[in-house]
Amino acid sequence: MTASISSLNKKKHKEKEYFISSLMARMTLKEKIAQLNLVTPTAGTGPFKTKRALEKLKDGTAGNVLSLRGTAESIREKEAFAEQTRLKIPMLSALDIIHGYKTVFPIPLGLSCTWDSVLIKKTARIAAIEATAIGYNNTYSPMVDITRDPRWGRVMEGSGEDPYLGSVIARAMVKGYQGENLDASTSLLACVKHFGMYGAIEAGRDYNTTDMSRVTMYNVYLPPYKAAVEAGAGSVMTSFNDVEGIPSTANKWLLTDLLRNQWGFKGFMVTDYNAVQELIPHGVAADYEEAAEKAIKAGTDMDMASECYSMFMEKLVTEGHIDTSYINRACRRVLEVKYDLGLFNDPYKGYQKGLAERVILSKEHKAVAREATQRAMVLLKNERQTLPLRPDSRVALIGPFLDNKAEMLSMWSPDGVIDSVVSIVAGMKKQFREVKTAVGTYMNDDPALKSFEPFDSAQQAKMIAEAVELAHQSDVVVAVLGESRWLSGEARSMTKISMPACQKELLKALKKTGKPVILVLLSGRPMVLTDIIPHADAIIAAWRPGTMAGDAIADVLSGKYNPSGKLTMTFPRSVGQIPIYYNHKNTGRPFKDGDRGQFKSKYLDEMNSPLFPFGYGLSYTTFRYGDIVLSDTIVNGAKKHITASISVTNTGKYSGEETVQLYINDPVASITRPVKELKDYQKVMLAPGETKKITFNITPEALKFYNHHLVYDWEPGLFNLYIGTNSDDVKEAHFVWNK
Ligand code: BGC
């Protein structure tokens, strides 16, 4: 059986080789270079606006396109421009489909808080089904950049700070987009981005430099990219930053030695937007020609939007600066992926008249969006069980986001259908007897942001007074506050990530009424909430919730859904603590808040601990953890495994889901190791009073790390094992594992 499968695969592989080789034998140099060129009609394509992007697709100087928009029919018409070219090679038609296409799910940072890879995979599958029906065949997702700095606006696009969880999610998304077979009609080519280390840009300022040791790269930043490649991602995108002094787009070590030679990546490498040209301001190329030469030699196959390849590659070859083998190599990689996608059989795969109308925003897709939004929400505070609210509560619903449907989406959901969004007010009215609303505040009063958000202080005072009046007439206040969607995403770095002063003023005034105050926080990043915590009895992080915002938020407030989300990024107490993350090193002078000692690793004016740690999230019920039981405390030999069990009891009144988290620490090793690292987790549903035993299997795989020589292995000795409800609140056990 296995033999026949492998001979079938070999046969298929041979057919593909033959097809591509024969095609390439017929291609001119120009035609090959066109395969490496991706243009976009929505914005300028670099300084070489010789012709409009669509003309380039027609005359065959560009073989791929980004951001064609319109109806399925109008997109198909433009994709058919490929048929006007000599060899009729189908084009890659790409779009940034980041957290759903027309059915919009919560932002990726929110989705990651579900810790639910099955659900996340489903959201990617749905995005692929909707997008392929319109005619796209390539998405620029998942973004798997590990992020430890919430000032960076792009933290909203990723899965947070942890390499283990980040890898689980990276795999799920690739599998979701690409499906079982890449050539299936609903399979969308995934593009893993941004390779690499983009999440580590200094000071959280977008497009800035990164610099770190290889040990940190290998242990922290690289695992999710590697996981995505191993899951079969057909393409990878370079990042805007430099790595060890060489911009990633020209970094041969990164793109060729590591990605291809060590990890075995077989797909193609596309640049980020205009990144070839940007080698010039980066300071590693004097002109466009040198930029193109450096990029292709490093292993960059496709040039997104800069057109340096299209303009200069032929000249570089004829003048002998570049060997044709570089062009052939890159062209072959692109054609192979087109072949794998099945585009040579059907250039418009996925498209069927009337299909888009049937699948987009279907009932089933919306149901998954609602579930995802419920599960993404993280309950940060719930004093005196303020939540859930009784359905007969008279609710004062206050804030500037209430009927603003667009604000439920994000900077990265430009294709979301605003009209289809369930606004917060609409959702709340379905589930509560009386819901009255007041705007209460402007979104922001920071003069630096006035181009995004206007402010008028006289009007603000009136709005607060109205909101307070409404609060007095109600049983409970639900204040929906936070950041507007334009403050997170690409090029949206911020130094102030606390709640705007005008919103704080409103919240304080509401709290003074003596009514219970629930804060529903909308944001694309962890925010500094330290000074607002006392002014809310309950707080829920709802991120940017997506199409089903209002229904899902009402589900959580009413208790129809008991929140289960857990943070995947640490919430700092103050901006000065950033970067702050749970898997930090111990240092030679460790310090825990409350310890004494002057010459310790600490701040004079701030605690070391975060406001909310990684893995944190409350439920309407409570869980009690028993003690950890290990099957063995001394283990000999690599082939063994041990089990760690713990019983978890629902000690509250509601059924609820807990995410039981397992961390390991290697206290003595050849290099300094993090105080804790997530190694596994399980989600468990418990009825009130119910106890379940959770058992984890541990093999030496969980003990491995890249050592100083970048060898991935484990070192024998003592290990600390932790299991708990978040990275900070854990039970502890120990074992010795000998080789
Ligand atoms: C972003 C990428 C995106 C690309 C294409 C760039 O500015 O960094 O994440 O995929 O544009 O839109």
- Compute the average pLDDT of residues 299-307: 96
Using the predicted structure, report yes or no on whether residue 502 has a pLDDT greater than 50.
Answer: yes
**148/580 Cα distance (integer angstroms):** 6
Using the predicted structure, report yes or no on whether residue 452 has a pLDDT greater than 90.
Answer: no
Q: Which residues contact 525 (CB under 8 A, 6 or more apart)?
A: 109, 150, 151, 152, 153, 155, 156, 483, 488, 494, 497, 569
Q: What is the pLDDT of residue 1?
A: 47
Residue whose CB lies within 8 A of the most ligand 1 atoms, among 42, 65, 93, 96, for a mutation test: 96
Using the predicted structure, report yes or no on whether residue 3 has a pLDDT greater than 70.
Answer: no
- Compute the average pLDDT of residues 135-142: 98
What's the CATH number of domain 623-737, 2.60.40.10, 1.10.3720.10, 3.20.20.80, 3.20.20.10? 2.60.40.10
- Compute the average pLDDT of residues 538-561: 98
Residue 643 phi/psi, 5° resolution?
-120, 150
Using the predicted structure, report yes or no on whether residue 48 has a pLDDT greater than 70.
Answer: no
Task: Tell me, in angstroms, the distance from the centre of ligand 1 to residue 734's CA.
Answer: 45
Residue 710, Cβ neighbours under 10 Å: how many?
12
Q: Which of 641, 651, 377 is nearest to 519 (CA)?
A: 377
Higher local confidence (pLDDT), 117 or 1: 117
Task: Tell me, in angstroms, the distance from the centre of ligand 1 to residue 152's CA.
Answer: 15
**142/119 Cα distance (integer angstroms):** 15
Tokens of residue 403, six digits? 């009927």
Task: Tell me, in angstroms, the distance from the centre of ligand 1 to residue 239's CA.
Answer: 9
> Kindly report the CA angle at 648 between 642 and 653, in degrees rounded to 5?
170
Q: Indicate the angle between helix axes 163-178 and 223-230, nearest 10 degrees.
A: 30
Catalytic residues: 272
pLDDT-derived band at 42 (thresholds 50, 70, 90) equals confident
Task: Give the H/E segment covering residue 380.
Answer: strand 378-382
- Compute the average pLDDT of residues 118-132: 98
Using the predicted structure, report yes or no on whether residue 47 has a pLDDT greater than 90.
Answer: no
Tokens of residue 272, six digits? 């980020």
- Compute the average pLDDT of residues 150-171: 98
Position of tokens 């708990």? 724
Q: What length is written for the chain?
A: 739
Render pLDDT for 558-585 as a digit per residue (tens, 0 to 9).
Answer: 999 999 999 999 999 999 999 999 999 9
Residue 416 phi/psi, 5° resolution?
-60, 145
- Compute the average pLDDT of residues 203-231: 98
| Amino acid, single-letter form, for residue 87 | L
Percent of the chain at pLDDT > 90 equals 94
pLDDT mean across residues, the chain: 96
Structure letter (DSSP) for residue 674: B
Using the predicted structure, report yes or no on whether residue 613 has a pLDDT greater than 50.
Answer: yes
- Cβ–Cβ < 8 Å for 89, 36: no
Q: What is the pLDDT of residue 46?
A: 56
**295/237 Cα distance (integer angstroms):** 13
**441/507 Cα distance (integer angstroms):** 9
| Amino acid, single-letter form, for residue 377 | M
Q: Strand 623-625 relative to strand 642-650: parallel, antiparallel, unpaired?
A: antiparallel
Is the beta carbon of 412 within 6 A of some atom in ligand 1? no
Q: How far is CA 310 from CA 17, 28, 360, in A?
A: 26, 13, 36
- Residue closest by Cα to atom 11 of ligand 1: 273
Is the beta carbon of 490 within 6 A of some atom in ligand 1? yes
Domain 378-564 - what CATH class?
A: alpha beta
- Ligand 1: atom nearest CA of 193 is 9
Using the predicted structure, report yes or no on whether residue 352 has a pLDDT greater than 70.
Answer: yes
Q: 3-class SS at 591? A: coil
pLDDT-derived band at 45 (thresholds 50, 70, 90) equals very low
Residue 221 phi/psi, 5° resolution?
-90, -35
Residue whose CB lies within 8 A of the most ligand 1 atoms, among 188, 269, 490, for a mutation test: 490
What CATH architecture applies to the domain 1-25+42-355? Answer: Alpha-Beta Barrel (3.20)
Task: Tell me, in angstroms, the distance from the centre of ligand 1 to residue 510's CA.
Answer: 41
Q: What is the pLDDT of residue 585?
A: 98
Using the predicted structure, report yes or no on whether residue 721 has a pLDDT greater than 60.
Answer: yes
Q: What is the pLDDT of residue 450?
A: 87
> Kindly report the CA angle at 242 between 327 and 235, in degrees rounded to 5?
45
- Cβ–Cβ < 8 Å for 209, 282: no
Structure letter (DSSP) for residue 490: T
- Residue closest by Cα to atom 2 of ligand 1: 272
Is the beta carbon of 193 within 6 A of some atom in ligand 1? yes
Q: 3-class SS at 706? A: strand
Cite the residue boundaries of each domain of the chain with CATH code 2.60.40.10.
623-737
Using the predicted structure, report yes or no on whether residue 2 has a pLDDT greater than 70.
Answer: no
Q: 3-class SS at 337? A: helix
**374/561 Cα distance (integer angstroms):** 7
Tokens of residue 540, six digits? 């829920």
Q: 3-class SS at 499? A: coil
| Amino acid, single-letter form, for residue 610 | P
Position of tokens 């804060």? 519
Is the beta carbon of 157 within 6 A of some atom in ligand 1? no
Render pLDDT for 51-96 as a digit per residue (tens, 0 to 9).
Answer: 788 999 999 999 999 999 999 999 999 999 999 999 999 999 999 9
Using the predicted structure, report yes or no on whether residue 675 has a pLDDT greater than 60.
Answer: yes
**586/121 Cα distance (integer angstroms):** 35
Cite the residue boundaries of each domain of the chain with CATH code 3.20.20.300.
1-25+42-355
Using the predicted structure, report yes or no on whether residue 150 has a pLDDT greater than 90.
Answer: yes
Tokens of residue 384, six digits? 């005196």
Q: Which of 194, 93, 224, 113 is nearest to 526 (CA)?
A: 113
Task: Tell me, in angstroms, the distance from the centre of ligand 1 to residue 187's CA.
Answer: 21
Residues 375-404 as b or e (16 or more Cβ within 10 Å = b)? bbbbbbbbeeebbbbeeebebbbbbbbbeb
Tokens of residue 75, six digits? 């997109």
Residue 77 phi/psi, 5° resolution?
-60, -40
Is the beta carbon of 116 within 6 A of some atom in ligand 1? no
Structure letter (DSSP) for residue 141: -
Q: Which of 64, 190, 183, 181 is nearest to 138 (CA)?
A: 190
Q: What is the pLDDT of residue 44?
A: 56
Q: Which of 694, 692, 691, 690 is nearest to 681 (CA)?
A: 694
Residue 450, Cβ neighbours under 10 Å: how many?
11
Residue whose CB lies within 8 A of the most ligand 1 atoms, among 39, 65, 66, 140, for a mutation test: 140
- Compute the average pLDDT of residues 382-397: 97
Q: 3-class SS at 236? A: strand
Using the predicted structure, report yes or no on whether residue 382 has a pLDDT greater than 70.
Answer: yes
Q: Which of 167, 108, 114, 121 is nearest to 678 (CA)?
A: 167
pLDDT-derived band at 364 (thresholds 50, 70, 90) equals very high
Cite the residue boundaries of each domain of the chain with CATH code 3.40.50.1700.
378-564
Tokens of residue 127, six digits? 């995005």
Q: Strand 92-95 relative to strand 64-66: parallel, antiparallel, unpaired?
A: parallel
- Compute the average pLDDT of residues 355-378: 98
Is the beta carbon of 140 within 6 A of some atom in ligand 1? yes
Tokens of residue 241, six digits? 């930053």
Position of tokens 């990219």? 225
- Compute the average pLDDT of residues 443-455: 89
Using the predicted structure, report yes or no on whether residue 123 has a pLDDT greater than 80.
Answer: yes
Position of tokens 């010795």? 736
Q: Which of 138, 144, 296 is nearest to 226 (CA)?
A: 144
Residue 263, Cβ neighbours under 10 Å: how many?
15
